[in-house]
Structure 1
């Protein structure tokens, strides 16, 4: 089959059962996950389940011995939660934060660069955060790690957003930040 064949999938190939299992595992974690990361984990889980079935092990059989689904999500996530060597340059961080500002503004939020991250004004639906409960939201990517979501106030707790360190990843992070600012995720930034 050639790469131009219409039967060749454009993205990850995974079962709906594997994706549902990965989504369930993600809900039990403290991090937030970009859709592409969930799809990548579902693709790996689908492949592991298929390998097991070749040896007479069904997907249900894995549950009695290990958290295969959670472990699959954790293994895939690890590559996004720590930076490759050498550490990301300031220019790369500024570029990624710039992509994030652009993506957030395209979604109708008035985002701007601020300090080491991107500041997004809170809305009436944004969960309370910060000392007085009225802090704006901040998202950023670290030089030696992945994406993060917090309130723009010193000492505020930080929640990891697992997403690629790329322009496409910044767009996915923007969708997650928008959902948080609009109150769709509840207060996922807490101790």
Structure 2
């Protein structure tokens, strides 16, 4: 048995909706993200659901051979249809523990379109970064301008003095999957240099 630590691939935490949203554009982008994570040899870390954008990104990543690491709280197993055929499938007691496990097992965070849960996840990792608990890159994939109102809200919060002006520098917004992949590649290179 080797004394060498087990190397895990560059791991991308994807926060996204348990619904698909209106129109095909959001699900199409989620599938592309999953496929590109696999093509790059990265690991998908996500909420272990098989519904909405969560299911789309996971099925796409699996179909192309990516490792998948899913984390779901007990009370959401039936609602989000826990996807038990993942490389790793972890059940937690609550939502907070789910976010913590996902975050701790990732190198970068990506937020696809989603609802209140995705906003909660985004603001938690953003707050942790603002107070110096981590320096992992955070990316918003703003498919068809989806996150523009969120960016405007953050600008409003800083202009009104409730957050430092630097808050907007703690995350990057990308408009396309290609732009996201390029940003993730750069983040991986920085981590390995």
The TM-score normalised by the length of structure 2 is 0.23
Higher strand share: 2
Greater C-alpha Rg? 1
Higher helix share: 2
The TM-score normalised by the length of structure 1 is 0.23
